[in-house]
Structure 1
Amino acid sequence: MSARLASATAATAYQRDWFARLRTQAADGAPLALVNADAPQEIFRAMGIPYVVNQWWASIVTAKRRTQDYLGHLRERGYPDHIEQYSSVSLGSLFDPDPGSAPWGGLPRPSLVLAETTGDASRKIFDVWGEQPGITFYPLESAAENDVPVRWWELMPRRWEEAVGGDRLDLLTGELEGLIRFLEQTTGLVFSETRFREVMELVNEQQEWNRRTRDLIARARPCPLAVTDSIPSVMIPQWHRGTTWARDAAKAFHDEVAERVGEGAAVCPGERARLMWIGRGLWFDLDFYRRFQESHGAVFVWSMYLAIAADGYLRYGDDPLRALAARFAAFSDQLYTPPWSAEWYVKEARHHGVDGVVHLVSEDARGGYFTTRALEAAGIPVLELRADNVDSRGADAEAITRTVGEWLDRRVLARD
């Protein structure tokens, strides 16, 4: 089956229309925030403050082959162009001398940037944002906890206090209270707890649909959709969490997948191997994910985007602000910090019945070694690819294709 998911097409069309409206709002003087993907965007949603997700913009820039232009703008100003490229591409777009030629009309200049200070390089990227006229950087701390919960994905929806730890939640809740006060003072808008509760409820409804969809795909034989369809179908609504559109889009995605499963649809009729992609999307070469279907009958059935939506976002409780803190206080742990991340990847690999894992390991990898080791110990073959997901320099597409093909022949399909 080659037809693209209608939900993916609809989500992309919605995003284009939304971004055009956002650019108009920004041109008319509305406040605009640039926020990291792992930042508590729900507060901005509740207050009606438009925002752009930093990593989403980097993915658009990369897909349009403009990454090197923006990294070059950083290099011209003496900033490194080889560290945390996924986070720094948007900063490079700030210095574009011809913003009108940028993808989708260009990123409007934000008045606020929000990010968790994970690592020295990340903090310095956002410090540069804060040095620009008219832009404020609001940092959030990155806390850690010595005790690691067992099977955290089972605890997070309702027992998140136990999973994350009271001290971490106290810290982030206090920081979010400060963020709300800052936004009220600088924008003149008022934070409504009633509206915020509505946003949190909509987010939970959305993630329940994502969980059902994840489980449908995990059980389906053969795989009914391409991973390049699942990513926009789940992630574009994620950037609009807390809206009825996002909740309904998640349901539409689920219903379309359920229909395909019911029909026995196959993205690769000759499916021989189910693969898992660990790492951020390979935005400079999205064709990669389909490349091995015809040659090897190998289908990528898993990416972190739908899986983390299913396991990492649900938060129920009587205190919505503390529940929001619980959503993000350990977000990086879930994806990158062993044993949190390693145990989850093994669980997901088994849940989806994968035959092998392709693991993208970039220069800023956090915990990649432990993830690979845990999967191999579970008897699941892993191929590590060394590349950056937005910076194609040094990434030889032919060599990567050859390496993956040889690995499939030698370690995955040879086990048939």
Structure 2
Amino acid sequence: MSAAHTASPERLAAATAATAHQKEWFAQMRAEVAAGAPLALVNADAPQEILRAMGIPYVVNQWWASVVAAKRLGPASLNTIAELGYPDDSYQYDAIGLGSMNLPAEQAPWGGLPRPDFVIAESSGDATRKVFDLWAQHPETEFFAFERSSATTAPDNWWDLVPHRWDQAYAADRLDLMTDENWQLVEFLTERTGRTFDLDRLAAVMDLVNEQAEWNRRTRDLIASSRPTPVSVNDSIPAVMIPQWHRGSEWARDAARALYEEVEQAVHDRRAVCPEERVRLMWIGRGLWFDLGLYQRFQEKYGAVFVWSMYLAIAADGYPRYGDDPMRTLAARFVGFTDQLYTPPWSSQWYVKEALAHGVDAVVHLVADDVPGGTFTTAALEQAGIPVLEINASNADSRGDTATVVEHAIGAFLEGRVLG
């Protein structure tokens, strides 16, 4: 094996800076909550921009689950769920945050998540709704639920429509429903916090989110066109997603710009994650938080590099929305969020588009139990001539031999179908 295969660029400064910022922010948030500030826990598919506009601190449930899983505390959190008499082998990504509330403060990441005053989520499935209902059984926590509406039509190439022509992508009744619910959320929060909502402030937040999304799009497109790939997904994931959870802030906008500039410089300097890149891989599904090193372990043996994850791609295509009515435009950002990632043909067309743009040779598709439409995504990619390894596993539950099974499966897939 050549020395070039073992060469590895230094970690992206954008990733290091984002992680440092998040730790500092979390400590500050804990202090504010201890001093009496309200706290919301929100699912990724809920409109966090309203909270940003009202100055209400919030934590994203999926981010917190990823931190707990990365610290190898997922099993302890899931064991708590089982001890309460609920299934610990279903919807773990939604449930880990709830289970983590029983972790001892000295064991919990960064001192632990304070008890939220509000939990906010879309009712995207029976199990998700039940998890959030359990949050609200605590006397200090209330649950605000968004309805889950379904698409009856699916436009081709939705990513071209949704920034400016989103009313052609999403049915009017879906937009009406979520716009009304956005206003209901404002009323709910105003009554309970005494904080005011300003529509002009929301418009300013939306402008910053759009700027951030455009920087992410530039970064995504630059990585897609670069051979060999200049950055590792281990770095791009935190560098993109931590600012995503701070959408609507100047820091997040500037962080997205800094990531682009750093990747642009890496391309200019001809840096490479694996200089002798032989195979370009796409990882579909949530990050394997308890074993992020997995993505790099195939470089030395096979020259195989994961060049794509959904995090940067959806940040580029899924979030930019422009319109004169900030509240309805915000509804357009979230009403089809699940469709874009998981509902065919919305999702399957998008994954094929991304695979072709990034020139991937093969796909590893992690399918969790709460992810619909996975079979259609795999079939669409195979039909496009791209081999797919489908793995049914949880990205956050490290119990058992999950990491070993996944690694062995990918190795066998590369040797049997990709490298031949």
TM range (shorter): over 0.9
Task: State the shift of 1:407 in Å.
Answer: 1.2
**2:335 pairs with one of 324, 329, 340:** 329
Paired residue for 1:111, among 89, 106, 117? 117
Aligned-pair CA distance for 1:409: 1.8
Q: Deviations over 1:115-172 (max 9, x none)?
A: 0001100000000111111100000000012111111000000000110111100000
**Separation in structure 1 between the aligned mates of residue 376 and residue 248 of structure 2, nearest angstrom:** 34
Match among 59, 76, 88 for residue 81 of structure 1:
88
Residue 43 of structure 1 aligns with an amino acid whose one-letter code is I
Give the superposition deviation at 1:248: 0.2
- The 3 A distance-change label for structure 1 pair 111 and 396 is closer
Question: Residue by residue, what CA displacement relative to the aligned partner does 1:321-360 show, whole Å, maximum 9, x if unpaired?
Answer: 1010000000000001111100100000001000000000
Letter in 1 for 2:55: G
2:287 aligns to what SS in structure 1?
coil
- Residue of structure 1 aligned with 2:391, choices 382, 385, 389: 385
Matching residue within 146, 150, 163 for 1:157: 163
Aligned counterpart, 1:62: 69
Deviation per residue, 1:354-410 (Å, 9 max, x gap): 000000012222110000000000000000112100002244433332221121122
Q: Which of these residues, 169, 172, 177, is aligned with residue 171 of structure 1?
A: 177
Aligned equivalent of 2:314: 308
Aligned partner (choices 203, 212, 215) of residue 206 of structure 1? 212
SS at match of 1:398: helix
Deviation of 1:213 after TM superposition, in Å, equals: 0.2
Q: 2:296 aligns with which of 262, 272, 290?
A: 290
What SS does the aligned partner of 1:389 have? coil
Partner of 1:5 in structure 2? 12
Report if aligned partners of 2:151, 2:339 keep a CA contact under 8 Å in 1: no
The Cα shift of 1:68 comes to 0.9
Partner residue of 1:71? 78
Matched AA of 2:90? I
Q: Whole-Å Cα distance in 1 between the matches of residues 297 and 413 of structure 2?
A: 14
CA distance in 2, matches of 1:398, 1:246: 36
Question: 1:191-230 residue pairs with structure 2 within 5 A?
Answer: 191-230=197-236
Partner of 1:342: 348
The answer on whether the counterparts of 1:54 and 1:90 sit within 8 Å (CA) in structure 2 is yes
Pairwise CA distance, 1:411: 1.5
Counterpart residue number, 1:248? 254
Question: How many residue pairs are counted as aligned between the two chains?
Answer: 413
In the alignment, the residues of structure 2 paired with residue 310 and residue 165 of structure 1 have an alpha-carbon distance, to the nearest angstrom, of: 23
2:169 maps to a residue whose letter is: A
- Which one-letter code corresponds to 1:38 in the other structure? D
Task: Identify which range, 359-368 or 274-283, moves more after superposition.
Answer: 359-368
Write the letter of the residue equivalent to 1:216: L
Q: Given that residues 54 and 197 in structure 2 are in contact (C-alpha distance below 8 angstroms), is that contact kept between their aligned partners in structure 1?
A: yes
* Among 395, 413, 417, the residue aligned to 1:411: 417
Conservation of the 8 A alpha-carbon contact between 2:283 and 2:365: yes
Is 1:183 equivalent to 2:183 in the alignment? no
Give distance in 1, aligned partners of 2:417 and 2:401. 23
**In 2, Cα distance between the equivalents of 1:9 and 1:255?**
15
Q: Which residue of 40, 43, 49 corresponds with 1:36?
A: 43
TM-score normalized with structure 2 length: 0.97
Report the Cα offset of residue 74 of structure 1. 1.2
Residues 65 and 93, structure 2, Cα contact 8 Å, conserved in 1: yes
- AA matched with 1:293: Q
Contact 2:216 2:312 in 1 (8 A): yes
1:94 aligns with 2:101: yes
- 2: CA distance between counterparts of 1:5 and 1:264? 15
Structure 1: state its 5+ residue gaps: none
What is the CA deviation profile of residues 283-312 of structure 1, one whole-angstrom value per residue up to 9, with x for unaligned ones?
A: 011011001000000000000000001000
Where do 1:19-30 residues align within 5 Å?
19-30=26-37
> Distance between the aligned counterparts of 1:231 and 1:399, measured in 2?
23
Moved more, 361-370 or 156-165: 361-370
State the superposition RMSD in angstroms: 0.9
TM-score, length of structure 1 as denominator length = 0.98
- Native 8 Å contact 1:387 1:394 kept in 2: no
Is the 1:57–1:90 Cα contact (8 Å) retained in structure 2?
yes
- 1:360 alignment partner AA: L
| Structure 1 letter corresponding to 2:288 | L
Q: Matches of residues 233-272 of structure 1 in structure 2 within 5 Å? A: 233-272=239-278
Structure 2 residue aligned with 1:121: 127
Give 1:399's match in structure 2, choosing from 400, 405, 410. Answer: 405
Cα separation, partners in 2 of 1:133 and 1:100, compared to 1, 3 Å? farther
Q: Which structure 2 residues correspond to residues 355-394 of structure 1 after superposition, within 5 A? A: 355-394=361-400
Instruction: Find the aligned partners of 1:402 and 1:52 in 2 and give their Cα distance.
Output: 35
The 3-state SS of whatever aligns with 1:388 is coil
